[in-house]
Each structure stands twice: as structure tokens, then as C-alpha cells.
Amino acid sequence: MSNIILVYITCEDREEAERIGRELLKKRLVACVNIINNVHSMYLWPPKKGRIEEANEVILLCKTLESKWKKVEKEVTKIHSYSTPEIAAIPFIHMNKKYSDWLKEELI
């Protein structure tokens, strides 16, 4: 059985997060998404230039199975507006059984 992961994605705005989330749900690549508004990000950009940039972003959190990671990454990369989107997978250490069972049933 595949492990459950949290996919962490930063988006330009809420509309983009909703668009990506809906597409992943429609394709049954994820079972649930959460959108967190008003995140202030600071990062070095462009690459190798060392300038500190700041932006207001939205975080999209997606719950899925590790076996779906490559398809999720490919789909997000295809539709994301950023040239270098942040798409990261974080493993869950513990999760209540009812939620875990529901998530797996939705994706298997």
C-alpha cells in the first residue's frame, strides 16, 4: 500500500490554487486540497543573481498517495503559471485511521 503524502504548492493567487486543486481532484490525483491565503514569501530570484524578492502568494496543500506523486508533479507543472513552481512532497508520520481509510478509498 502506498504511503500518504502532503503535496505543498505555492501559487500566484487564490484563483490559480483553485484551478490547480480542482484539476487534481477531477483527475483523482488527490483526495483533498486546502488553500491558505495571504502568505508572504521571500526568496532569491532570478537564479544566481542573489536578489531578495518578496511576493504575496497562496499555499495549496494536497493530500494524496505517494504512488500518485509523479502524475501530480507533472500535472501541476503543466498548468502552473510559474516557470519554476514549488511542488514538494512531505510524508505523514501519523494519521487517524478513518481519514486515512477514506483517502485511500478515494484514490485506489
pLDDT (tens digit per residue) in 39-89: 999 999 988 888 999 999 999 999 999 999 999 999 999 999 999 999 999
Q: In the chain, where are the structural domains located?
A: 4-107
Q: Quote the pLDDT of residue 1.
A: 58
Distances (CA, A) of 92 to 30, 54, 99: 15, 29, 12
Q: Quote the pLDDT of residue 48.
A: 87
| CATH match for 4-107 among 3.30.930.10, 3.30.70.3270, 3.40.50.1370, 3.30.70.120 | 3.30.70.120
Buried b (16+ CB within 10 A) or exposed e, 28-46: ebbbebeeeeeeeeeeeee
Whether the model pTM is above 0.75: yes
**Identity (one letter) of the amino acid at 28?**
R
Statement: residue 9 has pLDDT above 70: yes
